[in-house]
Every structure is written in structure tokens, then in C-alpha cells.
Chains A and B, each alone.
Chain A
């Protein structure tokens, strides 16, 4: 349980970090919070030639809000998200989901961008970024590019990052007025990875659903946007009495599209069942909160 040999670089500028990553020819890994990478090193699952520690680079730890979006830099820790009044007040889905991330000591070091880059299917942050129609900001020695969250995830622990590239930030798009949100998750113990979870954003005006976003967590492939369910919900009347039946139907339809893998934590059927329960709970809570925001 000791890390393998590697070369270690702790550059103090982004340009230097990108230069080192570029020279590593795909065999370099970015060390931010290290809360996923260090276990992988200790277990010898990862064996990079070079570790590029970005913790000494200034300017990557910002949480910045505009009318249209929220930007989170590569060194923003889970604890910083939980301590941000702006996130708590105006980005409640991000705040709520982060309360499910691991434990205090992990949250003090682990980063949002690290979680998105790692793309563990049971992790919260990739799904939250996808639910907010987010964008991943990527840099390399050659320049910058931006990738929508939906295209960034390419399956379990796999992303659109190319050799020499790193995630320098993520950007969440602000939902319209009248949006309620909810994140729910089932895990055996507090802070464990999710067996199943769901994130929902519902925008309701005059009793009609104008916009819906629904993402399922823990199904084995990274964030899974339930776009068919989103389309089905859009335009429907979301009245208090009618919604439970509608949400049950949506959950049923979503479940039919899922075929999660079995592992030591849950059978495929149990996971699928939980996904349905999570979808119903997330939609119900999100709808309730659209009323609270009015």
C-alpha cells in the first residue's frame, strides 16, 4: 500500500504545469486534492511517470459568479463549496450534492474539478455539472478549449481529456427563475460512494413544467442524463395532486432504460430499483422547492 516511484513537480505557474504535462507525453497526472489519485497510487492501480502537483499555482482556487454562470477553479475543495454562501443561496443543487461527498478530512483536500476529471460513476460532481448544463474548461500548452459536460464524460473513469491537457475549471449554467432543485442518494453509510442517486432541476411557471433536468448517479457509466424523461416532463402540468403519479411513471420509464452492472455493493436489479426510487424522490423534492422559491 505504498505509492510507486514517480517524478514529482510542483510548478508555481499554470504555464509551467502545462509544459511539464506536455513533456510527459500522456504519462503525467495532475495532483490536486489527491483524494482519488493517491489511493490509486497506493493500490498501484495508477503508475504515472510524472506527478504534476498544482497546489502551489495561484489563481486556481476561485469561485466566481456572474448573471449567467458559476465558475469553479481547479483548486476549489469540496469544503470551499460547502462554505460558500453564494453556492448555498443560489446554486442549491451543487451545495446539497456536496454534503454527500465523503467526509470532512477528504472534503478539505479533494477538489470539484478532480472529481469531474476522475469521472467515477458513483461520484456526485460529474452528475451535478451535467445537470446544470455545465462546461469543462481544459488547458494544455497549445491553448484552451471548452467541452460540454455531456461530451466530457466518455464512460467509467474516462473523459475527453487528451494527453498533455488538464481541467482548469468547470462552469455551471444558471437555471431560469422558478427552478427548484434536489439531490438524493442512497449509500450504505454516510459519505460512502452512491449505490444510486438522482439530481433534478424543475422549472415551473403557472403550474406548467417549462424545463426539466434529471441525472442518474451510480449506474456505471458516469453521469447519465435522462433526456427522454426530461422531454416527457416538459410541458406537463405539475399540480400537487397529479405529480406523484406522473413522477412514478417517469421513474418507471427511466428504470426501463437502465442496465447497471452488478458488484459487491448491489445487484443489477437492486441498483435499478433504487434508481427509480431516487428519481421519484428527487423530482418530488425539486417540485416542492419550486414553490418555496416563489
Chain B
């Protein structure tokens, strides 16, 4: 049985075909093979949330997913959040405006998770935001600003800036 495999997947709207060892995580594939280093590896066992990406429309820990499992799949990373004109997504803007970024290590995972939350629940309560983001750890202790940013993004999307 081969320990290498050719995979084809879409990342941020672009199709890639690469040969990877089967044990390569999706996180390492994105970083080392595609040089998309915005996806960060923190704990590498699913606890910290820094590596969270969108896989086939659902948030996933890229450190707990093998690259070969994403074969044929559709991945969105932090690099794919800008629109066609290169503008930040509304949630990114809200993070910037509400000082929800300090060192930035956790931010990509928070953004992917927050965007998934707002897609399913455009008007979340503070408690719902806290619960949804509970799987993402920020060590600069910036949770308050992050929650404010998500509330601001939700309000902006509802036209209540």
C-alpha cells in the first residue's frame, strides 16, 4: 500500500493537485505544500482551535484532518476571506475595528469559526457567541474584544451599525 497519494482539492477557489504522504495533516499541507501560512498550528491535538479551516462548508480542525481526507474537497482558509476586490470580509473588518487582534496567532481560527456562527445564526446572543467560540483559545486574553467584534459584525450585517 502506498504511503504517498496524489490529491486534488480546491483551496480558496483555486484547484491544486499535489502528491503528499498519507500521514500529512491538512494543516501541514496548507502551510508546507501550498505555503498558505495563515493557518496556524498551535497544539496539534484539536484543543486550541488555531488551525480551524472550513472544509466542505463546515469548520474543521486541520490538524485533526489528513490532507488525503480533503481529496476532492473544498477548503477555505484565512487567505480566502477577502472578496474579489481584495477587501477584507465584514467579520475581518469588525475584528480590526474592535481591536480583537493582538498577536494574531489565534485570529484565523476565530474568524473561520465566527463566520460559520453568523452564517447559521445572524443575531446571536452574547452567550451563544461565547459558546460557539469556546473551542478557540486566545492567550493574549482578548476574548472581550473578540465577542464585541462578532456582535459588531452581526449588527453590521443586519444593517444596524
Q: Which residues of A contact B (CB under 8 A)?
A: 1-10, 31, 34-35, 38-39, 41-43, 50-51, 53, 55, 79, 102-106, 108-109, 189-191
Is there an interface contact between B45 and A43, defined as CB atoms closer than 8 Å?
A: yes
Contact mask for chain B residues 97-124; partner A; CB cutoff 8 A; 1 contact, 0 none: 0000000000000000100110000000
Contacts of A10 in B (CB 8 A): 68-69, 71
Given contacts A8-B1, A38-B63, whether A105 and B135 have CB atoms under 8 Å apart is yes
Is there an interface contact between A105 and B59, defined as CB atoms closer than 8 Å?
A: yes
Is there an interface contact between A34 and B64, defined as CB atoms closer than 8 Å?
A: yes
B52 to chain A, nearest CB (A): 5
Is there an interface contact between A79 and B58, defined as CB atoms closer than 8 Å?
A: yes
Given contacts A50-B1, A104-B135, whether A39 and B59 have CB atoms under 8 Å apart is no
* Residue from the list A8, A38, A51 in contact with B5, Cβ < 8 A: A8
Is there an interface contact between A106 and B135, defined as CB atoms closer than 8 Å?
A: yes
Is there an interface contact between B22 and A35, defined as CB atoms closer than 8 Å?
A: no
Q: Which residues of B contact A (CB under 8 A)?
A: 1-3, 5, 22-23, 25, 28, 43-46, 49, 52, 58-61, 63-66, 68-69, 71, 113, 116-117, 130-132, 134-136
A40 to chain B, nearest CB (A): 9
Is there an interface contact between A38 and B1, defined as CB atoms closer than 8 Å?
A: no
Given contacts A5-B3, A38-B65, whether A103 and B135 have CB atoms under 8 Å apart is yes
Is there an interface contact between A1 and B3, defined as CB atoms closer than 8 Å?
A: no
Contacts of A34 in B (CB 8 A): 64-66, 69
- A selection of 21 A-B contacts at a CB cut-off of 8 Å is A2-B28, A5-B23, A7-B2, A8-B1, A8-B3, A8-B66, A10-B71, A34-B64, A35-B61, A35-B64, A38-B25, A39-B45, A39-B46, A53-B69, A103-B134, A103-B135, A104-B116, A105-B52, A105-B61, A190-B130, A190-B131
3 closest A-B pairs by beta carbon, nearest first, are A103-B135, A8-B22, A39-B45
Contacts of A189 in B (CB 8 A): 134
Is there an interface contact between B49 and A4, defined as CB atoms closer than 8 Å?
A: no
Contacts of A103 in B (CB 8 A): 49, 134-136
- Report the separation of the CA atoms of residues A50 and B2 in the bound assembly, to the nearest whole angstrom: 11
Is there an interface contact between A3 and B45, defined as CB atoms closer than 8 Å?
A: no
Given contacts A2-B23, A8-B66, whether A104 and B113 have CB atoms under 8 Å apart is yes
B62 to chain A, nearest CB (A): 9
Is there an interface contact between B22 and A6, defined as CB atoms closer than 8 Å?
A: yes
- Report the separation of the CA atoms of residues A3 and B27 in the bound assembly, to the nearest whole angstrom: 12
Is there an interface contact between A109 and B61, defined as CB atoms closer than 8 Å?
A: yes
A155 to chain B, nearest CB (A): 23
Contacts of A105 in B (CB 8 A): 49, 52, 59-61, 113, 135
Q: Considering only CB atoms, which chain B residue lies closest to A37 in the complex?
A: B64
A97 to chain B, nearest CB (A): 15
Is there an interface contact between A42 and B44, defined as CB atoms closer than 8 Å?
A: yes
Is there an interface contact between B1 and A39, defined as CB atoms closer than 8 Å?
A: no
Is there an interface contact between A104 and B25, defined as CB atoms closer than 8 Å?
A: no
- Report the separation of the CA atoms of residues A3 and B134 in the bound assembly, to the nearest whole angstrom: 26
A74 to chain B, nearest CB (A): 16
Given contacts A53-B69, A103-B49, A191-B134, whether A108 and B60 have CB atoms under 8 Å apart is yes
Q: Considering only CB atoms, which chain B residue lies closest to A83 in the complex?
A: B120
A287 to chain B, nearest CB (A): 26
Contacts of A104 in B (CB 8 A): 59, 113, 116-117, 132, 135
